[in-house]
Structure formats: C-alpha cells, structure tokens
C-alpha cells in the first residue's frame, strides 16, 4: 500500500510539472504572438520607424522567452524533487 502511494505521489508530481511546463510554454507563445502582431501593425502604420519597432519587439520577445525558460526549469526542478 505504501509503495502504491509513493508511486501515485511521484506520478502526480510529474503530471503537475508537465502541465505547468505546458502552460508556461503556451503563455510565452501567446505573448510573443501578440508582440509580433502589434509590431507588424506598427510597422504597417509607420514604415520609417521599423528599425525601432523591430528592436523593441526583439527585446520584449527575449524577455518573455527568458521568463518562459525560467518557468520550465522550475517545473522540471519540481518534477525531479
């Protein structure tokens, strides 16, 4: 009975970590998609400001990607605890 409970606890931890990593990834993808769409609209409205918009878009996407990587690492650490 005790080994069954230990396996259940471990499998629930892995399930939670996998679901958390998936939610983090979906959130990052949604955020980067919104940034890309807004940047394309801004470039379409003012083509002369495209270099500034592109630079700001890349910086914001890198920050979101870094946060997503941190979230996935936390999920993996929880899974291996």
pLDDT computed for residue 11 by the predictor = 82
The structure's pTM equals 0.80
In a domain, 30, yes or no: yes
Question: Does residue 28 carry a pLDDT above 80?
Answer: yes
> What CA–CA distance (Å, rounded) separates 68 from 29?
9
In a domain, 42, yes or no: yes
In a domain, 44, yes or no: yes
In a domain, 72, yes or no: yes
In a domain, 6, yes or no: no
**Spatial CB neighbours of 17, under 8 Å, sequence gap ≥ 6:** 75, 76, 78, 79
Question: Does residue 2 carry a pLDDT above 70?
Answer: no
| Number of domains the chain contains | 1
Domain limits for position 39: 16-79
pLDDT in tens, 42-80: 999 999 999 999 999 999 999 999 999 999 999 989 888
In a domain, 55, yes or no: yes
Using pLDDT thresholds of 50, 70 and 90, give the confidence band for residue 9.
Answer: confident
CATH number of the domain to which 28 belongs: 1.20.20.10
């Amino acid at each position: 009975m005790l080994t069954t409970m230990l396996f259940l606890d471990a499998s629930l931890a892995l399930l939670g970590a996998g679901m958390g990593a998936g939610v983090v990834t979906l959130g990052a993808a949604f955020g980067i998609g919104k940034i890309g769409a807004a940047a394309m609209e801004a470039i379409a409205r003012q083509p002369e400001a495209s270099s500034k918009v592109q630079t700001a878009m890349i910086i914001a996407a890198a920050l979101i990607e870094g946060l997503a990587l941190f979230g996935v690492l936390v999920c993996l650490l929880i899974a291996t605890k």
